[in-house]
Amino acid sequence: MDSTAFAPPVALLEREHEIEHVQSALRAASRRAGQAVVIEGAAGLGKSRLLEAAGAQASGLGFRVLSARATELEQGFPFGVVRQLFERALLNAAQDERERWLGGAAALGAEVLAGVPAPGSGASLGVPADDPSYAWQHGLYWLAANVSSDSPLALVVDDLQWSDAPSARTLAFIARRLEGQALALILATRPIDPGTTPDTATLAADPDATLLRLSPLSEASIGSMIASRLSGTPDRPFTRACVEVTGGNPFLVGELLSEAAVRGLDPTSENAADVAAIVPRGVSNAVLLRLARLDRPTRALARALSILGDGAHVGDAARLAGVTQAEIESGMASLVSAGVVESGGAVRFAHPILRAAIYEDLSPAERERLHCAASKILDERGAPVGQVAAQVMHTEPAANVGAVALLREAAREALALGDATGAAALLARALDEPPAAADRAAVVLELGQARARAGTPDAVAPLSEIVARGEDEAAIVAAAIELSGMLFFSGRGAEGAAVLRRALERLPAASSGREQLDVALLGASYTSVSARREADATITALRDPGGPARGVLEATTLATLAMDELMHLRSAAKAGDLAVRSLAAGLPSEPHRGEAWAIVGLAVLAATDELAAALAGTDEILARARERGAATTVANISALRSFVCIRLGDLVAAEADANAAIELAPDLLGAEFVVLALAVRVLAGLERDETPESLRRVIGQAGIGYDTEFSPSTQLRYASGVLSAAAGNHEAAIEELLDCGMEHPALGGENPAVLPWRSAAALSLAELGRDREARELAEDEVRRAEAFGAPRALGVALRAHALVGLGGERADTLRQAASVLAASPARLEYARALADLGGALRSSGSRGAAREPLLEALTLATRCGARALERRTRAELAAIGVRPRTTDRAGPGSLTPSELRVVGLAADGRTNREIAQTLFVTEKTVETHLGRAFRKLNISTRRQLPDVLARASN
């Protein structure tokens, strides 16, 4: 064996620029300004070498370095890369250290790190059924953050192009939250095809990451590589020939020079022509030449290893290659000294290009035979199913029942860990096998479910097949629910409802599956306009089961009836009672598709002025969802809570909740109700004196528009109309507001307790002098609100009626509005009516009588945080010569809603990290808010907070 075939390490050439970037990223990270660096380059350009250097740099700067390398065959192992990163460090950590690392939200991440016990993994920390992916990412992020609080942490990942999807998503999640953490992410990847690995492509294209694209080496550098490998300074033509053949790729240069060294070629002008002859068919040829010099059993071993991939067991490789114990030992030694395989514990190719060259040299028949044999060997030894399945994926279909079972099991595991795309690929292959006739339907269903969860439209075909022709009742139900859910989600509600209906027709009358389908149909009708139309007949036929709800079907039925009572403007008292009885089923911890009745029940309470009960319900769900890291639930329920808070007149809380929902939504699938938060954000912003232009921008940035198919989005249309009016654009306002009443009653246009669009439009009409229309609309709204019987809506309608009505009756009608609102929990509307009453009295000359309502309005407006109203009321008071003391603008009143929320948690004694975990934001965000709040409050430590807040609330 010629040892010169194995290239000695060469100094890193021409990477000064990259090294400098990495260095400054690391320096920044050690100052807690976390950074991500992505090194990109084609095979062999020197990414791994650079990564090695980066790792060494990081260690030198006192970083803890955790590294991982993705491999082609492991792409199908969910969280494989993340496990490589953290598993060893966690196992090697001392008990107390491990507990610290997995403390708080990080415990959620332990679920995916096999072999690492979650500390105190009680029920409260269980992974939610709803959106485990977010909770895992959130947990793993905080694990990295916790590890980095001892000493700065560098996460170094090589060959990212082969990363499993869940790991790529997790790294992307971390990359977006690096600020304020002593964390550096250093990633290397070959150029990525976004079509095949979208998650990895997103990560590599992260706009905040520094992208370093590696260039080929220059002629000068290649000259120096030649000089260090072959005898003597190379002649220019020889160097040029090397550049020509390799394109300056250092890996290829190395291979070329190894071969030249074996042949005893000197780097002279005369030998330049031989360079091209060494590698007539590209460089893999040079690799194969190297291999050709080894003996037969060693070559067989190398081929077996190329089939099994990095991390193969030597025993498996030996069985696969059919070599003896003695042959393995000498074979492995030869492969190491030939530089094909690295020395040390796990079997690893010295370079991925080597594995690819050996693998690609196999004939298709040979590959097939070896993959088949490998799957059997791995299966017999009890290797993880994912590993066995990876082998099966490379074989031709053979109607093998065992293979089908194995692929299905691997798919189940992948799905459980959030890799729906991976699961779908495994199941598609299982279907090709094909399965035994008796199993086919089950595989089709699983394939459809996996594709639906991956969000791909090709889920429709397999799921429709089961709904139309399946024979198993449970399968029909499952397929219909999955398919309809997917259709609702993509705005195709009518089709979704039709699917559920078709499934209902296929089930016998006594089937227990009907209940689930009924619940799904009603659940869809809550938010999908076309599903609501489809469900009209079903809803009309619903019977009140009587008494408090027991179970999901009763809760759903009652919530649907409550909603119907509300939307059809029947009775507020009855709607409230139905809602309360639906909620008696017990609040689900994560209301999602099947349990959306809870959201509906609470929304009905909000519309019928049962605001305290609605608030208590949202708080209960939120507390549990936060603990579980169930972000989708937190986003949806925060949106609902913002809606309750604005009705209570707590504008600060309304805005903080709305912001929380809006900020979380882009990371989530299924945070549908943010549209509600956006509407509240706009209405609260107007009251808090933000300009209409800036609020229009808020709508634009949220990227959520009015969606005629999604019923809660009428709230946004209403808010947008009010915004246009505030901007003085009354024509546009009238158009948008009148639109709110046009369609199906389920959109809320009938009932002013849902959408007081008539009164809002009336005010704009009056501005344009269209008084008669204004009065008609306002009167209509008063009649509706009276009929329904919700005081807030009636007060709002009466106020508008007074403002657009005849001057002589104005004060009386406003007094009536104020007295109705006084008895309701709607503080903001009450303040508004009082302010207008004071204004009307003043302008009619009753200055003395104006004083009391104006002072009361001022107190309430200040308490609500309604700055616009406060300003107007002060102006009215000034006009009658009253100048109350201005509120303390340096106190908590000067804080933004988000600052107040952070300050409130800090005053309760929570650490920045705990606050960040609770609110799903970074610690840096918490620090920034607290810093600003401290400056405004003129305090220096958080110990002063409780005092300052207590003083302010007195």
Which residues contribute to the site for ligand ATP (CB under 6 A)? 7, 10, 12-15, 41, 43-49, 159, 190, 250-251, 254, 351-353
Q: Which is nearer to Mg ion, 48 or 538 (CB)?
A: 48
Q: What is the closest distance, in whole angstroms, from the C-beta atom of residue 159 to Mg ion in the complex?
A: 6
> Among Mg ion, ligand ATP, none, what does residue 721 contact (CB within 5–8 Å per kind)?
none
Q: Which is nearer to ligand ATP, 16 or 471 (CB)?
A: 16
The answer to whether residue 48 forms part of the interface with Mg ion (CB under 5 A) is yes
Query: What whole-number distance in Å separates Cα of residue 796 and Cα of residue 826?
Result: 10
> Among Mg ion, ligand ATP, none, what does residue 41 contact (CB within 5–8 Å per kind)?
ligand ATP
CA 672 → CA 599, 657, 678, 681, 717, distances in Å?
A: 12, 15, 11, 16, 16
Q: What is the closest distance, in whole angstroms, from the C-beta atom of residue 620 to Mg ion in the complex?
A: 51
Q: What is the closest distance, in whole angstroms, from the C-beta atom of residue 356 to ligand ATP in the complex?
A: 8
Q: Which is nearer to ligand ATP, 11 or 438 (CB)?
A: 11
Q: What is the closest distance, in whole angstroms, from the C-beta atom of residue 370 to ligand ATP in the complex?
A: 22
Q: What is the closest distance, in whole angstroms, from the C-beta atom of residue 48 to Mg ion in the complex?
A: 3
Q: What is the closest distance, in whole angstroms, from the C-beta atom of residue 407 to Mg ion in the complex?
A: 30
Residue 671 burial (C-beta neighbours within 10 Å; 0-12, 13-18, 19+): buried
Q: What is the closest distance, in whole angstroms, from the C-beta atom of residue 265 to ligand ATP in the complex?
A: 19
Q: What is the closest distance, in whole angstroms, from the C-beta atom of residue 160 to Mg ion in the complex?
A: 10
Q: What is the closest distance, in whole angstroms, from the C-beta atom of residue 176 to ligand ATP in the complex?
A: 26
Q: What is the closest distance, in whole angstroms, from the C-beta atom of residue 204 to ligand ATP in the complex?
A: 13
Query: What whole-number distance in Å separates Cα of residue 733 and Cα of residue 717?
Result: 10
> Among Mg ion, ligand ATP, none, what does residue 45 contact (CB within 5–8 Å per kind)?
ligand ATP
Cβ 443 vs Cβ 430: under 8 Å? yes
**Paired sense of beta strands 183-189 and 210-213, if any:** unpaired
> Among ligand ATP, Mg ion, none, what does residue 15 contact (CB within 5–8 Å per kind)?
ligand ATP
Q: What is the closest distance, in whole angstroms, from the C-beta atom of residue 217 to ligand ATP in the complex?
A: 6
Which ranges of 293-436 does DSSP label H, i.e. alpha helix?
296-308, 314-321, 325-337, 352-361, 364-381, 385-392, 401-416, 420-432
What are the backbone angles phi and psi of residue 476, rounded to the nearest 5°?
A: -60, -45
Q: Which is nearer to ligand ATP, 51 or 558 (CB)?
A: 51
Q: Which is nearer to ligand ATP, 69 or 506 (CB)?
A: 69
DSSP secondary structure of 908-949: TT--HHHHHHHHTS-HHHHHHHHHHHHHHHT-SSGGGHHHHH
The count of residues interacting with Mg ion (CB under 5 A) is 2
Query: What whole-number distance in Å separates Cα of residue 212 and Cα of residue 47?
Result: 10
> Among ligand ATP, Mg ion, none, what does residue 93 contact (CB within 5–8 Å per kind)?
none
> Among ligand ATP, Mg ion, none, what does residue 13 contact (CB within 5–8 Å per kind)?
ligand ATP
Site string for Mg ion, 303-342 (x = CB under 5 A): ----------------------------------------
Q: What is the closest distance, in whole angstroms, from the C-beta atom of residue 52 to ligand ATP in the complex?
A: 8
> Among Mg ion, ligand ATP, none, what does residue 595 contact (CB within 5–8 Å per kind)?
none
> Among ligand ATP, Mg ion, none, what does residue 12 contact (CB within 5–8 Å per kind)?
ligand ATP
Query: What whole-number distance in Å separates Cα of residue 485 and Cα of residue 334?
Result: 58
Q: Which is nearer to ligand ATP, 51 or 572 (CB)?
A: 51
> Among ligand ATP, Mg ion, none, what does residue 144 contact (CB within 5–8 Å per kind)?
none
Q: What is the closest distance, in whole angstroms, from the C-beta atom of residue 248 to ligand ATP in the complex?
A: 10
b/e for 519-531, b at 16 or more Cβ within 10 A?
bbbbbbbbbbbbb
What are the backbone angles phi and psi of residue 710, rounded to the nearest 5°?
A: -105, 105
Q: Cβ contacts of residue 589 below 8 Å, gap of 6+?
A: 128, 621, 624, 625, 628, 630, 633
Q: Which is nearer to ligand ATP, 12 or 211 (CB)?
A: 12
Q: Which is nearer to ligand ATP, 44 or 309 (CB)?
A: 44
- What number of other Cβ atoms are within 10 A of residue 1's Cβ? 12
Query: What whole-number distance in Å separates Cα of residue 342 and Cα of residue 333?
Result: 10
Q: Which is nearer to ligand ATP, 210 or 511 (CB)?
A: 210
Q: Which is nearer to ligand ATP, 185 or 915 (CB)?
A: 185
Q: Which is nearer to Mg ion, 319 or 351 (CB)?
A: 351
Query: What whole-number distance in Å separates Cα of residue 188 and Cα of residue 39?
Result: 5
Q: What is the closest distance, in whole angstroms, from the C-beta atom of residue 12 to ligand ATP in the complex?
A: 5
| Residue at 840: amino acid letter | A
> Among ligand ATP, Mg ion, none, what does residue 353 contact (CB within 5–8 Å per kind)?
ligand ATP
Q: What is the closest distance, in whole angstroms, from the C-beta atom of residue 189 to ligand ATP in the complex?
A: 8
Query: What whole-number distance in Å separates Cα of residue 251 and Cα of residue 287?
Result: 11
Helix, strand, or coil (residue 77): coil
> Among ligand ATP, Mg ion, none, what does residue 729 contact (CB within 5–8 Å per kind)?
none
Helix, strand, or coil (residue 189): strand
Query: What whole-number distance in Å separates Cα of residue 822 and Cα of residue 816?
Result: 10
Binding piece for Mg ion, criterion CB under 5 A, among 14-22, 46-54, 217-225, 527-535: 46-54
Largest CA distance in the chain: 112
Binding piece for Mg ion, criterion CB under 5 A, among 45-53, 634-642, 753-761, 898-906: 45-53
| Among 320, 330, 327, 430, residue whose Cα is nearest residue 372 | 320
Binding piece for Mg ion, criterion CB under 5 A, among 22-30, 41-49, 742-750, 761-769: 41-49
Q: Which is nearer to ligand ATP, 49 or 863 (CB)?
A: 49
Q: What is the closest distance, in whole angstroms, from the C-beta atom of residue 49 to Mg ion in the complex?
A: 8
Q: Which is nearer to Mg ion, 213 or 772 (CB)?
A: 213
Q: Map tokens 């250092």 to a residue.
A: 250
Q: Packing angle between helix 631-648 and helix 597-607, nearest 10 degrees?
A: 10
Q: What is the closest distance, in whole angstroms, from the C-beta atom of residue 338 to ligand ATP in the complex?
A: 14
DSSP 887: P
| Among 640, 522, 541, residue whose Cα is nearest residue 587 | 640
Helices vs. strands in the chain: H and E counts, helices first = 48, 5
Q: How many CA atoms lie within 13 A of 583 on its CB side?
A: 23
b/e for 641-667, b at 16 or more Cβ within 10 A?
bbbbbbbbbbbbbbbbbbbbbbbbbeb
> Among Mg ion, ligand ATP, none, what does residue 49 contact (CB within 5–8 Å per kind)?
ligand ATP
- The sign one gets for the Cα dihedral 308, 309, 310, 314 is positive
Query: What whole-number distance in Å separates Cα of residue 483 and Cα of residue 466?
Result: 10
In the bound complex, which residue of the shown chain has the CB atom lying closest to ligand ATP?
46
Q: Which is nearer to Mg ion, 310 or 829 (CB)?
A: 310
> Among Mg ion, ligand ATP, none, what does residue 10 contact (CB within 5–8 Å per kind)?
ligand ATP
> Among ligand ATP, Mg ion, none, what does residue 523 contact (CB within 5–8 Å per kind)?
none
Q: Which is nearer to Mg ion, 69 or 628 (CB)?
A: 69
The answer to whether residue 285 forms part of the interface with Mg ion (CB under 5 A) is no
Query: What whole-number distance in Å separates Cα of residue 322 and Cα of residue 182?
Result: 50
Q: Which is nearer to ligand ATP, 216 or 749 (CB)?
A: 216
Cβ 569 vs Cβ 788: under 8 Å? yes
> Among ligand ATP, Mg ion, none, what does residue 601 contact (CB within 5–8 Å per kind)?
none
Q: Which is nearer to ligand ATP, 354 or 652 (CB)?
A: 354
Query: What whole-number distance in Å separates Cα of residue 562 and Cα of residue 613?
Result: 15
Interface residues with Mg ion (CB under 5 A)? Answer: 47-48
